[in-house]
Structure 1
Amino acid sequence: MQQNDLNLQNDPNREPRKAYRVRHPLKLRTASVQHIEELGPNMRRFVLTGSDFADFTSASFDDHVKVFFPDAQSGQLILPQVEGQGIAASEGPKPIMRDYTPRYFDTSQLSLTIDFALHEAGPASDWARQAKVGDILGIGGPRGSMVIPMDFAGYVLIGDETAMPAIGRRLEELPRDAQVLVIAEVDCLQDQLSWDCPQDTEILWLQRMGQPMGQADLFLQALKHAPFPIKDFHTWIAAETSVARQLRKTLIAEYGVNKNYIKAAGYWQQGKSDSHQVLEDE
């Protein structure tokens, strides 16, 4: 955590439960694949390393970095130019990039762990299926972090495969005495992950069994019988954009969840590539 994070966290004027943003200098890095691990039939872990990570920081469990992939045909890795806190437009071939969660960062080894959910064909999934140790990627950011304080008695975490890295990281970072409910949708039993959880954690695994992603039905059914934390809690949702939006509305309207303590994000969107958006009141 950076010094400005600590200052914000210890600021006596900070509203204890209010999320706060931390800005990071935008930087592009190159990294090589150091290790590959199979987490399940549809999830693969990559440990990336490189000297460029010396000043890497990620202050929130749901941060995202831009991962830049080499062209499948030419093998060329195209990185954009950074101008201040933005990306400069350029002519010629465009970078191939997708958003991913920094699952874990090892400061001593200068290594960044990223988990890839393998879906239908696309540049990211195609790369992940064929990648080998020594392959090179580009990493951009994170540009900033939205830090959700750990001042709640309970936490609710809801998401599909794209949210698994963030959920796993959050569970590892939460206080060990927190009461936690996780509602996680995967394709099948083999896709269920093992996490280091607070002792009082209830995980409801939802299995699509070959049905397509991006549907809200299983989540809505699970909510009807979900053991929500007894005391005050913060709710976090990440899934397909329309699903996350529907779950947010349902939790507020039908389950009385405090809309000030809920964060919902569309980690992907049907029919679009490289889509990531935070969902708020409409």
Structure 2
Amino acid sequence: MSDLASPPLRRIQRIRHELHRRDLEVTRVERLSPHFVAITLHGDSLANFRSDSFDDHVKVFFDDTPGEPARRDYTPRSFNVQRLELTLEFALHGSGAASDWARQAAVGQRLVVAGPRGSMVIPVDYDWHLLIGDATALPAVHRRLEELPPEARVIALLQVDDAADRRLFPEQMQVQWVETTAELQAAVAALTLPEGEGFAWAAGEASAMAAVRPLLVAKGLTKEALKVAAYWKAGAEAFHETLEA
């Protein structure tokens, strides 16, 4: 076992999509755990919807102030092209335009969704896959696991405050659950990367991810074998960016 990753051999594919704004109807609301709800949306405008990567995000619009809808980024958890159904998962922590709407969401309500604007398609045949994130990353992590072949080697370091929100993942997956940002960073620092060519993906709160990225770079991961995204930022609204070196 070694902390040094092999040089990246595979090319990440970036795909641009034509941007569409869709007015959709809620058709199903499912409570997944104490702080997560899955909401399924339907509409004929989804006929040309594309989401080619677990890392995609759509822009969701919530009525906040008249004429000034709040906008938030969410991972397309799943899409059924036959039924024209898009499912998004919402974390119900704290108060905000998105979580407040999700708590009261009911069948028949409307929601406007735009995007994805593009996809970053990460090959599934790496020797290993490292997934790191807080609760906001769980929908993307779960989708990635469904995309990967059963024999894929997956290591996950996941931060969830409430143990009741921890998800069941395949037994062959190496998963470590932690409760705090400090514990997540310590777990990343202590991790020994497997041999072979791998890819590391991480997403969560901005300052936490800014601390995680150099820990991964120090293990020999290059920018071609690494993506770290800030899904949110403490004290800020509608924050989403990819962190670079």
Same topology, TM > 0.5: yes
Give CA-to-partner distance per residue, 1:211-256, whole Å, 9 cap, x none: xxxxx31112222544643432100000111111210101212x33
Higher relative CO (CA 8 A, sep ≥ 6), structure 1 or 2? 2
Partners of 1:181 and 1:229 within 8 A in 2: no
Q: Which residue pairs with 1:257 in the alignment?
A: 221
Partners of 1:17 and 1:151 within 8 A in 2: no
Q: Which residue pairs with 2:69 in the alignment?
A: 95
CA distance in 1, matches of 2:47, 2:107: 21
CA distance in 2, matches of 1:117, 1:243: 18
Give the gaps of 5 or more residues in structure 2. 1-7
Paired AA for residue 167 in structure 2: L
Q: Which residue pairs with 1:206 in the alignment?
A: 178
Structure showing greater Rg: 1
Q: Which residue pairs with 2:202 in the alignment?
A: 237
SS of structure 1 residue aligned to 2:151: coil
| Residues 44 and 227 (structure 1), Cα distance of their counterparts in 2 relative to 1, 3 Å cut | farther
Higher alpha-carbon deviation: 25-34 or 229-238: 229-238
Q: How does 1:77-116 map to 2 (within 5 A)?
A: 93-116=67-90
Taking structure 2 as the reference length, the TM-score comes to 0.91
CA distance in 2, matches of 1:168, 1:64: 14
- How far off is 1:178 after superposition? 1.2
Partners of 2:125 and 2:152 within 8 A in 1: no
CA distance in 2, matches of 1:256, 1:173: 26
Partners of 1:236 and 1:263 within 8 A in 2: yes
Aligned length: 238
CA distance in 2, matches of 1:16, 1:59: 21
SS of structure 2 residue aligned to 1:200: coil
Q: How does 1:1-282 map to 2 (within 5 A)?
A: 17-71=10-64, 93-195=67-169, 197=170, 200-208=172-180, 216-226=181-191, 228-253=193-218, 255-281=219-245
CA distance in 2, matches of 1:135, 1:159: 31
RMSD (Å), alpha carbons: 1.7
Give CA-to-partner distance per residue, 1:24-62, whole Å, 9 cap, x none: 111000111111111111111111111111110101101
Give the gaps of 5 or more residues in structure 1. 1-14, 77-92, 209-215
% identical aligned pairs:
43
